[in-house]
Structure formats: structure tokens, C-alpha cells
Structure 1
Amino acid sequence: MNRFFPWGFLSLIALAFLLLFIAYPISGILMRSFIGESGTFSFEGFTIFLSKGKYLEALLNSIILGVTVTFTCTVVGVFLAFIVARYEIPFGGIVFLLPLSVLIIPELISAQSWIMVFGNNGLVTNALKALGIPFPRFYGWFGLVYVMTLTFYVHIFLAALAALRGFDHSLEEAGLSLGTAPLATYFKVVFPTITPAVLSAGLIVFTLVVGNFAIAINLGQRVPLLSVMTYRSFISELGGNPTMQSTLATVSILLVASVLFLQKWYISKRNYHMVAGRTPPRAKLTGWKSLLASGSAGFIIVLSLLPALVVLVGSFTQSRGPVMYWGQFTLDNYSRIWEFNLAVIGNSLRFATLATVLGVIFATLVSYLLVKKRNPLSATLDYLLLLPLTISGTVLGIALAQGYNTGPLVLTGTAALMVLAMMLRRLPFGVRNASANLHNISNSLEEASVSLGVPPVRTFFNIVLPLMAPGIAAAAILTWVTTVAELSASVVIYQAGQETLPIQIFRLISSDLMARASAFGVINMIIILVPVFFGIKVMNVKLFSS
């Protein structure tokens, strides 16, 4: 019994929490997809899905979009990583802004900014129209691929850059010494070595694209997509039979789970390990090669950071309905927030704070249990923590709303469910960051403390927790900035009076009130930027170390 307390008991509590709030709602949505209109076991939902063209079209479109964006992100990300890792470029020092841009500029704001530039009433669209030059419609496939590529390629860039910097240059030199051309050496030696890292990041991109809601619903107006169709099915059928919404959610889960399985299988067959070696030197380019490399990298960086500038300028731009008068500045957009919408900001701060505090406490405990105190329950804990990665935010929101709509624990419609959804969405990443430096903490430190009579729990707080502080700080910051920007799960389950900044921005974009949406977007980015800046500059937190 003494061996069970306290860590075995805490593992049991953590397992019960994950079973109750992750496994139960997800298994519920899977089972409801096999219940027909009559309330009995049936394949009715899947029969309708396979027989109606709109559902199959949405599935096919989602797969095509996921593959296409993953490919374009790989091309852009690997290209930029190669330039940064191998060559000296004039503005190489600002490349560190790229991963931060993903945090500071949420997907919704990125979509909004490009609509303001290339949309029907966009700045470039109207400027070209005034000159008599027609501009192709931005909504649809082109807009989806363009915006998603610029939003998600950073995941590939970071993975490829880390792999290239860890590559043993002697392998490349050996290939060249055997007479292999430089380009052939890259394809035969360098790129196969970084392939596992790129594929792992590619899986993340694919799942983000397939489950994306913010960009898809704003730009894919004429392209049926599974994530948007699942959301609309839930909204239209709320209170009715949940068969089709559950079926659509189940198909989304199976799609991502299948890709995860294929990726794991592929990487297991083609895995490479660098034991030791020299980092490749960075060459200095001159002439047209320098201009081409620097110009291409600079162009990508500018496009990545441009949405923040567009939204900032748009927030001070005068507007009348959907028409924005660029060059005419006003503070009216902010004054309206001050007068009528302060509660929205308060909701975002309150929900995100609660989700961050609860999420970090739970992530810290679970990471310690999985790394330092493994027991027979650890494998199940590991598995359950992966489940949020296999579902989109929309599916998670639907699962929670359906799972806790009736029964002994009714949470649907409450602020508690909003906080819970925000917490669960980012829990796997919080655990990963919290455990980032646990492997480097020697067990002998705890053993010495316990041998001196200090109880295990007090030893954890006095010895281990301070050493985990950098990872916990990174987990807290990343959890905060992602929950403040959360839309896909919260937009499904929120009720009147629970609107957050992303939900309000989404509603304003849907009404074509871009200037007012921009003001909310700037406030959202400031709320995100402040803790990021404080963590990096004041606390020296390494946000992307894990």
C-alpha cells in the first residue's frame, strides 16, 4: 500500500480525469454514429454519408486540401530551412520571429488579414478594380492553400532546420569525394536523413489542415470541407438526432488516425540516427545567388508577418458597413469596444487564465508521473493524452457538448465547459513542454532527499519542481497564447454571454465588419504578445526547446 501512495494514487486520479473528460465524450460520439433515427443500432449515418455526394465531396476535398497544403508547406519550409542553415543571409537574425508569428497571429486573424487584402472588398482588389484590372476570386482553393501554407509552413521549417543543423557534414563530404554531384548528394544523403523529422512535422500540418475551422469557413465558401460541414451539421441539428454530426465527427477521427498510423509505419521503416559529427558550415553567397536566396527568404518572412501589420492598420481605418476607407483613420473601432464589448475581453482573460492554470498543474503532474514514476497505469495515460491530437477542435467541442448535455454531470451551456475545452485542446503540448527537462534531472537527487527523511511529496515540491520551472514556464506561455486564440471548439459550445475575442472576431468577419474585427484582432494579439515577450526577454524561457 505504501508503494501505491502517493504516486500510484495520483496516477489513478489523472487516469480518471482523462477517462471522464476525453475518453468518455470521444467514445460517446463514436457510438452515437451507429445509432439511427429510431434510437437503435444502425449504419444509417454511414449509409447516408456514402450515398450522398456532398459528404463524399467534403471528405475528398479535405484529403486533397490536407495533402496539397502539406506539400506546399514542405516545399516552403524545407527551402527556407536550407537557406538559413547553409547560407549567411543579411536578415538571418530575424528568422526567430517566424515561430513566434504562429503564436502571435492566430489562424483566424491570418485569414481575416488576407481577406482584407484580396477579398471582394480587399485593398488590392479595389485598387486593381479602379485601374480596370480584374482580380481573380480569392475565395476557394487558391485562398485556402495560400493562407494555410503561410500559416502552417513554420512547423516544417522548425523541424527541417533542427535536422539540418544536426546533420553530420562528413557524410555529405564523403558523397562529394566519391564524385557525386552536389545536387545528387543532397537528394541521396542529406534529404533522406531529415525525412523522418519533416514527415513528423508534415503529420502535424495535415491534421491542422484537415481539422482547421477558422480559415476553412472564411475562405472555403464554395469548397465543401469536412470540418465546416461537421460544424454546420451540429448547429443545424442541435437538439435533434445527432446521427449525422456524430458520423461526420467519426469520419474526421478515422481520417486523422489513419494518417497517423501510416506516418508511424513509414518512419519506422526509414529512420536515421546521427551519432556525432560536424555541423555544416554556413557559406557566404555573392552576386545573383545571394540576391536570389536572400530575396526568396525575405519574401517568405514578409508574407508571414504581414497579417499583423494589415490588421493593425485596419483597426484604425474608417469604415461604413463592409466598406473600408483606407487612408482615413479613426479611433471609433476601439471606442465601440470600450463602450459595448469589454465583457468579451473579460471572458477571454478569465477563461484562458483558468484553462492555463488548470492545464499547467495537470500537465506538470502527469509529465512527472510519466517520466519519473512510471507504473502499470502509465501506458494508458500516454495513450489517452494522444487522443486530443487525433481530433479537431470542432469534433472535441461536439463530443463535449453531446457527452455532457444530459446525465448526472450536465456541463453543456456552462462556462466550465468552455474552460474544459480550452484546457483539453492543448493538454498534450503542455505535457510535452512540462517534461522537456525532466529527463535531465537525476533520480539521485530525489533519492538523497527521501533517504534524509523528507516525504516524497515534499521532495517533489522542494527539489524537482524548481528544476522543472523552465519547462513549466514554457508550457504555461504556450497554453495561454493558444487558449486565448481558441475558436474551433469554443464556437461550438459557447452560449450567449460567453463570447471570447476569437468568437467575436469570427462573428464580425461573417458580417463583413472587418474594421471592427481588426480592433478585436489587435487586442487579441496584444494579449498574446505580452506574456510571450515577458517569458522570452525577462524569464529567458525557451519556448521551442522541446
Structure 2
Amino acid sequence: MARPGQRASWSDRLKLRRWDFWTGFTLFMYAFLLVVVVYPLCALLISSLYDKQGDFTFANYWDFLRLKYYRNALLNSFKLSSLSALFALLIGVPLAYVSVRTDIRGKGALNILVIMSLLSPPFIGAYSWIMMLGNNGFLKRILHAAGIPFTSIYGPKGIVFVLALQFYPHIYLYVSGALRMIDTSLEEAAESLGVPAWKRIWTITLPLILPTLSAGTLMVFMESFADFGTPLLLGQGYKVMPVLAYDQFISEMGSNPAMASTVSGLMIVCATLILFIQRFVSTRRNYAMTGMRTPTIRSLPPAVRRLVTALAFVPAGISIIPQATVAVTSFIETKGPVFQRGFSMGSYAEIWYRVKQAIMNTYSFSLLAIAAMIVLGVLTAYVLVRRKSRITAMLDGLIMVPYVIPGTVLGISFILAFNKPPLLLTGTWIILVLAYVTRKMSYTIRSSSGILQQLDKSVEEASISLGVPPVPTFFKTTLVLMLPGVLSGAIISWVAVINELSTTIVLYHGATATIAVSVYSEVVTSNYGTGAALATILSVTALLSLLIANRLSGRKLML
């Protein structure tokens, strides 16, 4: 024990901690994360250090650095991710500014379009643009008929186009929230000194929201860096790291798990470095604001307002085109890969006959994963918020590790870790549900923590003072107050799970295929009608989930 007046050591504080339900759950979460995070990543690292003959070597890393084929994949990933983040900034920041700071019309509709485009998985966007601007796309034929030269959507330019349109809503939502809370005192002072509007935005407004802006940019970069479906569908040989890892692990010419592990390990290193760089940039300066003077909405002249409104709806309208396209084409009559004149329900009848199991798998696996995420997320959030210590801080850091792991990498690490006794899970539905929980659990924990931080401790203290033990108090009082917000956050996680492709395509086998995998399979085999029907089911599910989440959280869609 520490002497009087001396600060207790880490081990002393651990010994003094009362061993109760929450301590037991904390130990359980450590054990769980050691199994589903640390163990698979260690298996991945170890696999990268052995060749096909089982000999210890660093040759895989040397080959990656030496061979242009592998180096180009890394450079391509950074190039595509950087360009996608740049164009997402160019779209999202101006759109957020005019939405928050001006009196443009239709802000509610604009928000709905932006959010809906974010809920659709990127590979569905890629698939839709293939139907429109692919080698035989109908928009491409129209452009050629009008004398406008256009090759196709395939290649790196098409990938950047799709990813930027898919992920700019991250920038829009982050920046919109920051602009609503910004203190305008500095802006008003600069305006009184005659500083032009564009210069005030560049030198004052943007620096003030830099932490939020960098966080949104990081989100876009990480999502683009980890995206698997879009480069796979549009790349046509243009290799990026997730596709390279998948090809090395599952190849027609013979798999190379060691090199796949090497590629996966380097992806984790790159993602972690980007995360640290973002945090370093955002913490170099003090961005604290009083928030006493929130921004006012500027009234634009009628002609200018109409023009700005029209310009604001251009990117939002374009980004929603993929979902509208798949919805319409899902009802068009098809004959093999060719669309015919007329509408019918034939594509839906065919998918119910051929891939009904994939539809059932998607919803059953997702429901199981969400149930586990709610239970673990709520209890973990309580530990992190109400039982703060170095131990829980370490737990919080460990929970965030899967956040920076691309889905393809997580899938490969799970196969390497769970393909032999005593945890022989490869090929079962259990490994899919476990992967979903591991990868998406942090979202539910963050939403639950946010709700819990808003609840006053006095409610729990009053219940305990009346003789109700702490654990029953949590379940009878605190959890009830948290439930609407928790369920709202869980529904967003549910949308992410049903759309998950990169992890699923590595871990599934025939009997455990999901809608996302089936959409990819239908596109690859040129069955565009059935692919559109399956994609529409995902989009409708996402829309209904969004409506339910807004209802539970007490928010209105028409902002």
C-alpha cells in the first residue's frame, strides 16, 4: 500500500478496485478482445514471417518492397484515397457551408439525399455507374449519339469519382455540425475590419473547424483506402491493397497466405500512421471556443438564392442517382444480361427462387450481430464512462483497433486464426457474425457512451439511496433512459452490417452467402436485373432503418 500523502501505484489502485459485476465484465471484454482482435492479428503477423515451406523469413516484406507489382498497389491505394478525400472535401465543405450559413431552399430534402447516398454501400454505386457509363451503359450510348466522346467508367478515374460521391457526406455531416457550433466573434471582428468574405472563410472559419475537418477527411481516406468492392468492379486490373490482399489469399493460380498476410499487415500500419498524423495535426493548436455567439443565417438575394440552391442540389442529386438507377432497372424486363422493353417483377421472382438463402442469411446474421453489439456496447459504454481508470482506457484503445482494420484484412486474419481446433470456425455462420460484431461494435459503444455522458449520475445515486443495488439500478433505470439512443445507434450499425462486402467475401462459403456477396456475384456474371433487385432490397432496408432511427432518436428528417 502507498504511504500517507504518496500517490498509489497502478497495482495498488487495481487491488483497491472493488471486484463486482462491472469488474467481471471488464475482464470478460479483455478476454473477448484478446480472442477476436489480438489473437487474429498475431496470427496474421506470424503468417507474414513464414514462406510456403514454413521457414521463418522476412522475404515477403522484401519482395513487397522490391517488386514493382506490389509497390504499385500501395501507391495506387494512397493515390486513390488521397484524391477521393480531396474531391470529397471540395464537394462536402462548400455544400455544408451554404446549407448552414445561407437561406437556400429545400435543406431538409438536401439532407435526406446526402444521408441516403451515404447509407448505400460503395459497390452498389459502382455497379450502378457500370450500368450507366460502362462499356455498354445507356448513358454512354446517349453521349456517343450526341457526339460527346466518353470511354467508360472503368479505371482509376471512375474509382475516384464513385468513392468521392459515396463518401463526401462524411465531410458534409462533420462540417455542418462544426459550423453550427462555431463562435462567430472572430469572423465578425474580421468583417468589421473589412476582410473579404472568402478570406474570412480561408483564414478564420476553416482553421477553427480544422479538428472536425481533419476527422472527416481521415474518415473518407480510411474508407477509401479500405474499400474493396469499388476497385474490384471498376479497376479492371488496376490493383489496390485490399484487392491485392484478396487476390493473394484466394487466387486461381494458387493462394499465397504469407504474402496476403504481409499486404494486410502493411495496410494496418498505413491506416494507423494516418490516424496518428490526423491526431497530431488536430492537437498542435488550441481550437477552444466559447460558443456564446452561434452563427446567423445570411439572407441571399432571390436570384442568387435560386442559383446557389440549384448548385447545392447538383452533387446531392448525382450521388443519389445510383440508388434510383438500381431501383428502376430492378423492374425492367431482362433476358439474360440484356434489358428488354417493358417492366416486370421477373428479377425479384428470380432472386427469391435462386438466392433466397442469401436474403435470409443477411437478415438473420445481422440481427444476431446487432443483438450482441447492443449487449456488449451498452455494458462496455457504462464501464468506459462510469468506471474510468487506466484499465478502462486501455480497453477503450483496444476496442478501437478494429476501426482501423480494413474488412479484407479482418477476414484474412480470422481465417488464419480460426481454421484449426480448438476454434475451428472457418466456413460457419459463426465466424461471419463474430467478424461483424468485432468490426462494427465500436459504433454502438460510441453512441451508447454519448448517451450515457448526457445522463446525470444523480438519477442512479437516487435509486441506490433508496436501497436498489448498483447493478439492478443500471438495468432498471439507466438502461431504460439510454435505450432510445442506443437503439438508434444500433440501427445505423445494422445498416453497415447488411451492406458489408469486404469481410464477408473472404469469410463466406456457398451456404453462408449474403445479399452483398450475391450482388457482386450477379454483377460479375452480368446478371444486372437480379443484381439490381438485390441492391434495391438493401437500399430500401437502409431507408426504412434510417426512418426508424430518426423516430427513436426523436429527430426529424426535414431539418
- Which of the residues 75, 94, 102 maps onto 1:87? 102
Name the SS for the 1:324 alignment partner.
strand
Gaps of 5+ in 1: none
- Which of the residues 448, 467, 474 maps onto 1:453? 467
Match of 1:443 in 2: 457
Deviation at 1:413, TM superposition (A): 0.7
After superposing the two structures, state which structure 1 stretch, 6-15 or 215-224, moved more.
Answer: 215-224
* Mapped pair 1:101 → 2:101: no
Question: 1:102–1:8: structure 2 CA closer, same or farther, 3 Å change rule?
Answer: farther
- Which of the residues 325, 345, 362 maps onto 2:376? 362
Name the SS for the 2:339 alignment partner.
strand
CA offset digits 1:244-281 (Å, max 9, x no partner): 00000011111111111111111110341121322222
* Mapped pair 1:192 → 2:207: yes
Q: Distance in 1 between matches of 2:239 and 2:425?
A: 31
- Which of the residues 150, 154, 170 maps onto 1:155? 170
Q: Distance in 2 between matches of 1:208 and 1:448?
A: 44
- Which of the residues 330, 333, 342 maps onto 1:318? 333
Query: Contact 1:196–1:270 at 8 Å: present in 2 too?
Result: no
CA-based RMSD of the aligned residues comes to 1.9
Question: 1:248–1:43: structure 2 CA closer, same or farther, 3 Å change rule?
Answer: same
Question: 1:239–1:4: structure 2 CA closer, same or farther, 3 Å change rule?
Answer: farther
Q: Distance in 1 between matches of 2:436 and 2:518?
A: 16
CA offset digits 1:51-87 (Å, max 9, x no partner): 1111100000100111111111111100101111111
* Mapped pair 1:428 → 2:442: yes
CA offset digits 1:343-378 (Å, max 9, x no partner): 111111110110110111111111111001224421
Query: Contact 2:381–2:446 at 8 Å: present in 1 too?
Result: yes
Match of 2:60 in 1: 45
Match of 1:260 in 2: 275
Alignment: residue pair count? 542
* Mapped pair 1:78 → 2:93: yes
Match of 2:45 in 1: 30
Query: Contact 1:164–1:194 at 8 Å: present in 2 too?
Result: yes
Question: 1:495–1:541: structure 2 CA closer, same or farther, 3 Å change rule?
Answer: farther
CA offset digits 1:303-338 (Å, max 9, x no partner): 12221110111101122333323x522221111123
Question: 1:141–1:271: structure 2 CA closer, same or farther, 3 Å change rule?
Answer: farther
TM-score, length of structure 2 as denominator length: 0.93
Q: Distance in 2 between matches of 1:390 and 1:238?
A: 30
Q: Distance in 1 between matches of 2:385 and 2:428?
A: 35
Name the SS for the 1:283 alignment partner.
coil
* 1:121-136 map, 5 Å: 121-130=136-145, 133-136=148-151
Match of 1:4 in 2: 19
Q: Distance in 2 between matches of 1:161 and 1:117?
A: 31
Query: Contact 1:433–1:475 at 8 Å: present in 2 too?
Result: yes
Question: 1:475–1:238: structure 2 CA closer, same or farther, 3 Å change rule?
Answer: farther
Q: Distance in 1 between matches of 2:270 and 2:137?
A: 35
Match of 2:79 in 1: 64
- Which of the residues 464, 483, 494 maps onto 1:480? 494
Query: Contact 2:368–2:433 at 8 Å: present in 1 too?
Result: yes
CA offset digits 1:451-485 (Å, max 9, x no partner): 33222211111111011112211222112111111
CA offset digits 1:196-216 (Å, max 9, x no partner): 101011111111001001111
- Which of the residues 508, 520, 534 maps onto 1:506? 520
Deviation at 1:179, TM superposition (A): 2.6
Q: Which amino acid aligns with 1:25?
A: P
Name the SS for the 1:284 alignment partner.
coil
Name the SS for the 2:223 alignment partner.
helix
Query: Contact 1:214–1:487 at 8 Å: present in 2 too?
Result: yes
* Mapped pair 1:330 → 2:344: yes
Name the SS for the 2:319 alignment partner.
helix
Identical counterparts, % of pairs: 35
Deviation at 1:238, TM superposition (A): 10
Query: Contact 1:98–1:154 at 8 Å: present in 2 too?
Result: no
Name the SS for the 2:419 alignment partner.
coil
Deviation at 1:237, TM superposition (A): 8.0
* Mapped pair 1:143 → 2:158: yes
Deviation at 1:423, TM superposition (A): 1.5
Name the SS for the 1:413 alignment partner.
coil
Deviation at 1:37, TM superposition (A): 3.1
* 1:389-408 map, 5 Å: 389-408=403-422
Match of 1:13 in 2: 28
Deviation at 1:287, TM superposition (A): 5.3
Gaps of 5+ in 2: 1-14
Name the SS for the 1:377 alignment partner.
helix
- Which of the residues 481, 492, 496 maps onto 1:467? 481
Query: Contact 2:114–2:316 at 8 Å: present in 1 too?
Result: no
CA offset digits 1:89-147 (Å, max 9, x no partner): 12122122145314542222111111111111211012234456542221012211111
Query: Contact 1:435–1:468 at 8 Å: present in 2 too?
Result: no
